[in-house]
Amino acid sequence: MLKFESIARDLQQSIEDGTLAPNDKLPTVVELCSLYGVSKITVRRAIDLLTELGLVSSRRGSGTYVKNASAIKRDALQFARSDRASGFTEEHEGAPVTSDVYDFCVVNPTAEIAQCLDIAPDAFAYYDCRVRRLDDVPICIEYTYMPIDVIPGLKRSHVEGSIYRYIREDLGLKIANFNRAVRAVAATPEEAERLDVAAGAPLLEFEQVGYLDNGEPFEYSISHNVGERYTLHNIVLA
């Protein structure tokens, strides 16, 4: 493990065990250099990594602060890439991908989701529910929230196509990473009808918060995937 990764893991542990609480200020770069016996470049790389993981954010002229903890429990820090991180459309580039949009509106999300998105309890977010199809076969159903202030101008046409492409190409934002929890769940009667499976059929649930490269959350989503039609591929970086 590289030194900056080791420092990032150590700081993450301090965040997870409460030694560094939400909104606490991290020690300065100079103080971290002295603490770990490394250069400023190494410390900055560690902070950049924590920022990309959505754990801290920098305030110009003030310092680096711990972000509010996500409602999704964080496991040990893993440096990994997932095929789903690029988005469903890009993941299956070259194949016919379509979306059945069942809902698209502006909502005031629950307090728990607002916390995940690091927005005020009375703030608004886009909400969409859609089934993603590959070769006209339903693969998953997604329930997604995106803060209006972070992802402005989202339209139904984007939801029917690729939201991530809109974020990258139209808004010029960089999607950095996701914190994800994976569970097995049973299809509800409504999901069963939309996914063309039996009620109670096993689905693979991804609950995730997506972050931009500045550490800002841009998405909270839950997707239910038909296990026999989808395989998750991860590349773990040593």
CATH domain 80-236 topology: Chorismate lyase (3.40.1410)
In one-letter notation, the amino acid at residue 73 is: K
Structure tokens given for 238: 């040593």
pLDDT band at 124 (very low <50, low <70, confident <90, very high): very high
The whole-number pLDDT of residue 188 equals 97
Q: Where are the beta strands (DSSP E) in 108-172?
A: 125-134, 137-147
Mean pLDDT of 88-96: 68
pLDDT band at 164 (very low <50, low <70, confident <90, very high): very high
The whole-number pLDDT of residue 79 equals 45
Instruction: Report the 10 Å Cβ neighbour count for 168.
Output: 16
The whole-number pLDDT of residue 77 equals 44
Which pLDDT tens digit goes with each residue over 36-87?
A: 999 999 999 999 888 877 788 877 778 898 886 555 554 444 444 444 556 7
Structure tokens given for 200: 């109670």
Structure tokens given for 63: 């310092």
Domains 3-66 and 80-236 share a fold: no
pLDDT band at 110 (very low <50, low <70, confident <90, very high): very high
The whole-number pLDDT of residue 231 equals 63
**What does DSSP say about strands 63-66 and 202-212: parallel, antiparallel, or unpaired?**
unpaired
Candidates 3.40.390.10, 1.10.10.10, 2.40.50.140, 3.40.50.720; CATH matching 3-66: 1.10.10.10
Which pLDDT tens digit goes with each residue over 184-237?
A: 999 999 999 999 999 999 999 999 999 888 878 999 999 999 987 766 555 444
Which pLDDT tens digit goes with each residue over 2-38?
A: 899 999 999 999 998 889 988 899 999 999 999 999 9
The whole-number pLDDT of residue 155 equals 97
Find the radius of gyration of the CA atoms of the chain.
19
The whole-number pLDDT of residue 94 equals 62
Mean pLDDT of 100-111: 97
Closest alpha carbon to 85 in 218, 193, 190: 218
Domain boundaries, the chain: 3-66, 80-236
C-alpha triplet 66, 122, 63: angle, nearest 5°: 20
Mean pLDDT of 102-118: 94
